[in-house]
Amino acid sequence: MKPESITPTNIDEYIATFPEYVQNMMQELRSTIQRAAPDATEKISWGMPTFYLNRNLVHFAAYKKHIGFYPGASAIELFKEKLDEYKTSKGAIQFSINKPLPVDLITQIVKYRVEENLKTKSS
């Protein structure tokens, strides 16, 4: 979906490259992450929107039929029972662009990742 010739330098630029309905979903996901991790900073990493707190916290990206959410393997393992209805891999979750985002679940996952990142810093 994203034009190959455009290399976004920030999350606003990344989101702007998609159709409006996808932009709306990504803005909702972004806002959810911001509320769950208010101290995290935003950047583009690995070509996708990334939230950073001492290290990479979560990433997300849009595709033709889904929004990819990348909280890492530890979060996928911890929340696997709540992820039955989504396609997952070792470190990723796919949210269909045809269904509402599971905001409460995303919030729980991001808060877990915040705790995990902060513990890693103090270890």
pLDDT tens-digit readout, 19-77? 999 999 999 999 999 999 999 999 999 899 999 999 999 999 999 999 999 999 999 99
Q: Reduce the DSSP state of residue 63 to 3 states and report it.
A: coil
Is 51 part of a structural domain of the chain? yes
**Sequence-separated (6 or more) residues with CB below 8 Å from residue 38:** none
Is 92 part of a structural domain of the chain? yes
Q: Number of folded domains in the chain?
A: 1
CATH, residue 76? 3.90.1150.200
Domain that holds residue 45: 23-118
